[in-house]
């Protein structure tokens, strides 16, 4: 993170009020997002690099069988485990974000402290705060490194499934931070964690100063979505730095100031302003 103090979470007014009332962010299953290639994008890139590297290091009669196995297991890894995320942008007044994530401009962008969000990276395992990588060259480079790791394990005598597990399970959170360059204007960062929801039906996780809830469920009228809540009550006086009202937002600055005061936030320390986007 370079000189980025604030990261913006675009949402509806209802979600803003829920976040403020409960002092928490929601981390939802990314496969229910607006990008149908989530998880698949980097798996496909790694498969392409593996196919190329293996062709130069594996005997022909073994190569074709290996590639078929890689493709088969790759599809299985697409559905193993879940990745949960809460998404942010480095830009607080971006028209594409208003349209896609803030009720077509009727919502808000909540500016969170980057310094506090980054604290989760102090933990070796678990939740991470990471930038999305859109650069094609960086994606190819990462895919090549992961493909080589798989091939090296194979050449050492490991089984294909186990070798692939080292990448597609142990590095799943990182894999899901590489996306189609078409989404690059979103300038996204993620609070994200890889978990099997069946193992978290009662347990909470502590990532000082945050607490992550047990697994929860909701319906968006079309699908059942699993999610976790990340509570930030310990740092509620510091974590929200700014709230930007969308170009079509019908609530006033005074409305937000009153809500912040009533819900125990330091309203005088949180800047509230209107979007400069002339979008109707």
Q: Report d(CA 83, CA 195) in Å as an integer.
A: 6
- Convert the pLDDT of each residue in 166-177 to its tens digit: 888 878 888 889
Which strand (E) or helix (H) includes residue 61? helix 60-77
pLDDT band for position 1 (cuts 50, 70, 90): very low
Tell me what the mean pLDDT of segment 61-88 comes to. Answer: 83
pTM: 0.90
The CA-based diameter of the chain, rounded to the nearest angstrom, is 72
| Nearest in space to 175 (alpha carbons), one of 201, 135, 202, 146 | 146
Cβ atoms within 10 Å of 24's Cβ, excluding its own: 21
| Average pLDDT value for the chain | 90
- 211-265 tens-digit pLDDT: 999 999 988 778 888 999 999 999 999 999 999 999 999 999 999 999 999 999 9
The predicted model gives 25-50 an average pLDDT of 85
């Amino acid at each position: 993170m370079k000189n980025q103090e604030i990261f913006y979470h675009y949402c509806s007014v209802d979600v803003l009020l829920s976040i403020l009332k409960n002092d928490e962010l929601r981390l939802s299953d990314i496969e229910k997002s607006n990008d149908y290639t989530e998880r698949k994008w980097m798996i496909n890139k790694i498969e392409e690099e593996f196919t190329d590297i293996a062709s130069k290091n594996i005997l022909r009669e073994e190569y074709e069988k290996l590639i078929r196995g890689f493709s088969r297991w790759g599809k299985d890894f697409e559905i193993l485990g879940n990745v949960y995320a809460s998404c942010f942008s480095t830009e607080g007044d971006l028209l594409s974000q208003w349209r896609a994530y803030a009720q077509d401009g009727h919502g808000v962008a909540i500016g969170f402290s980057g310094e506090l969000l980054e604290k989760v990276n102090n933990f070796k395992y678990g939740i991470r705060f990471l930038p999305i990588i859109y650069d094609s060259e960086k994606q190819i480079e990462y895919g090549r490194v992961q493909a080589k790791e798989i091939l090296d394990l194979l050449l050492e005598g490991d089984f294909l499934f186990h070798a692939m597990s080292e990448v597609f399970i142990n590095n799943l959170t990182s894999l899901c931070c590489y996306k189609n360059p078409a989404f690059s204007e979103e300038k996204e960062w993620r609070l994200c964690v890889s978990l099997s929801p069946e193992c978290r039906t009662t347990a909470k996780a502590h990532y000082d100063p945050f607490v992550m809830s047990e697994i929860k469920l909701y319906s968006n009228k079309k699908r059942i979505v699993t999610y976790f809540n990340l509570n930030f009550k310990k740092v509620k006086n510091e974590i929200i730095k700014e709230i930007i009202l969308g170009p079509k937002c019908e609530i006033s600055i005074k409305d937000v100031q009153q809500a912040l005061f009533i819900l125990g936030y330091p309203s005088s320390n949180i800047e509230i302003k209107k979007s400069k986007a002339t979008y109707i």
